[in-house]
Amino acid sequence: MLIKDSNWIKCVEFHGHECPGLAIGYKAALLAQELLKAQFSADEEIVCVSENDACGVDAIQVLLGCSAGKGNLMIRLRGKQAFNFFCRESGNAIRLILKPLPTNPSASKSERALYILNAKADTLFEVKKPSFKLPGRARIFTSLPCSICGEITAEPFLQTVDGKLVCTDCAAR
């Protein structure tokens, strides 16, 4: 292990290996906890809208309890190492954007990850406000069978075609 921190070890175990991307998410999650005075989100207390679907998102799941299944982890693909965190209770929100990292073409993945893990948060991230509002709470929809394939589909993803409810895939055929 690159560092002997129990939270890092949990992140590595969940993700499967140590890498710079996981280290970015780890440091972002720790900074979000500090700035928002937040802990692990048992339900939807903390919401993360990540602007990437890379390795760092796994650390955010482990440390902050944000997950797609609970509806408090959303991916808003922009190709940026940026993470928007919202605290429902306090109304506070931050956007963490990774600053350019020093480039050393001969540095290994482990060396790059160790640099990130040991760097101070303010050298790694720019802190801003998100450019959008806190997303609504997760919604539960009625599910109905598609009249063509028979597969159970959440109602907002059904369309009426020739008077019948049809899933998105069947409607596209």
CATH at residue 157: 3.30.60
Using one digit for the tens of pLDDT, what is the confidence trace for 84-113?
A: 999 999 999 999 999 999 988 899 999 999
Q: Has residue 116 been placed in a domain? A: yes
With 90 as the cut, is the pLDDT of residue 69 above it? Answer: yes
- 82 and 108 fall within a common domain: yes
pLDDT in the model for residue 138 = 83
pLDDT in the model for residue 2 = 93
pLDDT in the model for residue 21 = 98
- 98 and 26 fall within a common domain: yes
Residue span of the structural domain in which 154 resides = 140-173
Contact 31, 48 (CB under 8 A): no
Predicted confidence band of residue 32 (pLDDT cuts 50, 70, 90): very high
Contact 95, 82 (CB under 8 A): yes
SS3 121: helix
- 121 and 160 fall within a common domain: no
Q: Has residue 166 been placed in a domain? A: yes
CA–CA dist 83, 95 (Å, integer): 6
pTM above 0.85, yes or no: yes
Unique residue bearing structure tokens 């959303």: 74
- 124 and 150 fall within a common domain: no
Unique residue bearing structure tokens 């999650």: 29
- 121 and 41 fall within a common domain: yes
Q: Has residue 1 been placed in a domain? A: no
CA–CA dist 66, 40 (Å, integer): 8
Q: How many Cα atoms occupy the beta-carbon half-sphere of 118 within 13 Å?
A: 9
Q: Has residue 93 been placed in a domain? A: yes
Q: Has residue 133 been placed in a domain? A: no
- 124 and 156 fall within a common domain: no
pLDDT in the model for residue 135 = 87
